[in-house]
A and B are shown apart, each in its own frame.
Chain A
Amino acid sequence: MPLIATENLTKRYPGAVALDGVTLELEGGIVGLVGANGAGKSTLIKILLGLVPATAGRAIVLGLDSATRGTELRQRVGYMPEHDCLPPDVSGTEFVAHMARISGLPADAARERAAETLRLVGLYEERYRPIGAYSTGMQQRVKLAQALVHDPSLLLLDEPTSGLDPAGREEMLTLVRRVGTDFGIAIVMASHLLGEVERVCDHLVAIDSGHLVASAPLARFTALTRLLTVEVEDGADLLARRLTDAGQVVRQEGRSVLVDLDGPAPYDLVRDAVVELGLPLVRIEQRRHQLEDLFRGDSPLVGEEARP
Chain B
Amino acid sequence: MSGSGPLWGPATEGAPDPRSTPPAFDPAAAPLAAVHAARWYGNVVAVNDVTFAVGPGVTGLLGPNGAGKSTLLHMLSGLLAPSSGAVLIEGRPIREHPDVYRRLALAPERDAAYGFLTGREFAVLSARLARLPDPDAAARRVLAMVDMEDAADRPIGGYSKGMRQRIKLGAALVHDPRILLLDEPFNGMDPRQRLHMMTLLDGMAREGRVILFSSHILEEVERLAQRVLVMLAGRLAAAGDYRAIRRLMTDRPHTFSLRTSDDRAIAARLVHEEVVLGVQVGDGELDVRAADYGTFTRLVARVAAEAGVSLYELRPTDETLESVFSYLVNR
Contacts and interface: CB of A to CB of B under 8 A. Distances in A.
Interface of A: 34-39, 135-137, 164-169, 192-195, 233, 264, 267-268, 270-272, 274-275, 278-286, 291-292, 294-296
B189 A192 contact: yes
B97 interface: no
B311 interface: yes
Contacts of B294: 233, 280
B interface bracket (residues with beta carbon within 8 Å of A) = 35 or more
A169 to B, nearest CB: 7
A122 B294 CA distance: 41
Contacts of B216: 164-166, 169
A286 B301 CA distance: 17
B159 to A, nearest CB: 10
Interface of B: 62-66, 160-163, 188-195, 216-219, 294, 297-298, 300-302, 304-305, 310-316, 322, 325-326, 329
Q: Interface on chain B toward A: helix, strand, loop, or mixed SS?
A: helix
For the complex of A and B, the 9 pairs showing the least CB-CB separation, nearest first, are A280-B297, A274-B301, A37-B160, A295-B192, A36-B190, A284-B314, A295-B191, A165-B64, A37-B190
Contact of B191 (A36, A281, A282, A284): A36
Given A35-B190, A36-B190, A192-B189, A292 B313 contact: no
B193 A37 contact: yes
Given A192-B194, A281-B297, A292-B195, A38 B160 contact: yes
Contacts of A282: 297, 314, 316
A195 B321 CA distance: 14
A226 to B, nearest CB: 14
A81 to B, nearest CB: 14
Most buried by B among A165, A194, A268, A296: A165
B195 A275 contact: no
Contacts of B217: 193, 195
A55 to B, nearest CB: 21
B106 to A, nearest CB: 20
Contact of A296 (B188, B189, B195, B312): B195
A271 B191 contact: no
